[in-house]
Amino acid sequence: MNNSAMTQPHAAGTAPAIRHLVIVGNGMAAHRLIETLGCMPGAPEHITVIGDEPHGAYNRIMLSPWLAGEIDTEGLALAPPTADHSPQGQQPRITTRLALRVTGINRRQRRLECADGELIDYDHLVLATGSRSAMPDIAGINHQGVGGFRDLADARALADSAEQGGQAVVVGGGLLGLEAAEGLRKRGMQVTVLQRSHRLMNRQLDDTAAAMLAQQLSERGIQIRTGVQVAEILGDAEGCVSAVRLQGEDTHLPAQRVVMTTGITANVEPGRSAGLVCDRALVVDDQLLTSDCHISALGECCQFEQHTYGLVEPIWRQVEVLARRLCGSTGVPYHEASCATRLKVSGISLFAFGPTDAEGDHEVLTYHDNERGEYRRLLLTDGRLVGAVLYGDTRMGPWLFELSQQGVGLDAVRHSLLLGQADTEALMAEQSSCVDHDPDNRLDNQLKHQPSKNKTHQEAA
């Protein structure tokens, strides 16, 4: 292991600023970071990535289709990092360490301590340890058969219990919960989703869209219960889960499997133990640096200002910022940007951004085709688009998001907004064109082409 004392960042294109970069965590963020560094001049000479899962990096977003049986395990795998695209031909050497758990960080010596006793030195350390399903404090939460849905192990456990059939209860009607529910249903279980809020996906959808979603899922055979809270999880003599009891209800929902999808908890260890500043997650600055200038944090384990992360889009932007810094240049600092939520619940398309519920000064435009399960709701303030919920047909989502980002005034075309991009742009073009579409104006031209004008008539005009 090298032990470089280099502290001064180098300009891009010169010798690497960092000789040995160590990344803890082998998830999608780490994978993306390595891929990005591989294409950049001034990348570290050597990158070691340490993952505690026994298998290589995989696309966690695809766990839902995997659970639903739509793809197989091979389909999950992310391509092993290759770093042969560097324009300067400087390819980082990459070492991947699987099934290795980091237990401590010796910041002074810039050295990692691993569960098997191994010590790994680093010039710079990136923590990309991700998150796990939150396990609320409910009686019976530790019963056998109660788990989350976050990684491949979770997914496998769910698939295994589905082999036996029976009933499953999913606690949490957000994206992950609904995906788990759909996966289990497809694998033959009878599934009930419990949602504390009065509607599904309450952070992304409004009442109408949520109701359409609930109806669609119900039609597929998933029981949806909203406005309910779990009182306790009951188990049998062997400690295996047997049922769920709801607050204010006496009857039990029988369950051989309970999936907790009420939220995620950042994996802040081992950073916190090493004394890094930590709030809900590891606090980073706009260069993704933690309170230690040799340690960065990335993705779901980090916190920037008050934001923590669960969606991939801002994390990709974090990767861009971090990779540039690791290559010795500082560019645009990371900043929080609004982003659209694009969700795919097994064939159900959703797209949303901005406020979920209409407030006082919002003007509301809706399109609803109940029979087809298509719904769009736009929120405008002062003629500008500030939010949208699209359900069913989300093709115009990116365009609407773009319109909202541009902040253009849309009053002149607002009646075409719900119809789509082509309609709106045609209208914009028409309105900006000097050509007047009233055929009567031709008469103006005819008058102009009279050999001499009827002056009295014209002067009157």
Q: Which residues of this chain interact with another protein, rule CB under 8 A? A: 363-369, 371-372, 374, 393, 414-416, 418-427, 434-457, 460-461
Q: How far is the CB of 360 from another protein (least distance, A)?
A: 12
Q: How far is the CB of 398 from another protein (least distance, A)?
A: 17
The 3-class SS string of the chain reads CCCCCCCCCCCCCCCCCCCEEEEECCCHHHHHHHHHHHCCCCCCCEEEEECCCCCCCECHHHHHHHHCCCCCHHHHECCCCCCCCCCCCCCCEEEEECCCCEEEEECCCCEEEECCCCEEECCEEEECCCEEECCCCCECCCCECEECCCCHHHHHHHHHHHHCCCEEEEECCCHHHHHHHHHHHHCCCEEEEEECCCCCCCCCCCHHHHHHHHHHHHHHCCEEEECCCEEEEEECCCCEEEEEEECCCCCEEECCEEEECCCEEECCCCCCCCCCCECCCEEECCCCECCCCCEEECHHHEEECCECCCCHHHHHHHHHHHHHHHCCCCCCCCCCCCCCEEEEECCEEEEEECCCCCCCCCEEEEEEECCCCEEEEEEEECCEEEEEEEECCCCCHHHHHHHHHHCCCCHHHHHHHCCCHHHHHHHHHHHHCCCCCCCCHHHHHHHHCCCCCCHHHHHHC
C-beta closer to another protein: residue 8 or 456: 456
Q: How far is the CB of 413 from another protein (least distance, A)?
A: 10
Q: How far is the CB of 461 from another protein (least distance, A)?
A: 6
Q: How far is the CB of 423 from another protein (least distance, A)?
A: 3
CA distance 247 to 245: 7
Q: How far is the CB of 437 from another protein (least distance, A)?
A: 6
C-beta closer to another protein: residue 262 or 394: 394
C-beta closer to another protein: residue 251 or 452: 452
C-beta closer to another protein: residue 306 or 445: 445
C-beta closer to another protein: residue 74 or 440: 440
Q: How far is the CB of 200 from another protein (least distance, A)?
A: 23
C-beta closer to another protein: residue 408 or 447: 447
C-beta closer to another protein: residue 337 or 461: 461
Q: How far is the CB of 393 from another protein (least distance, A)?
A: 6
C-beta closer to another protein: residue 91 or 421: 421
Q: How far is the CB of 343 from another protein (least distance, A)?
A: 20
C-beta closer to another protein: residue 250 or 440: 440
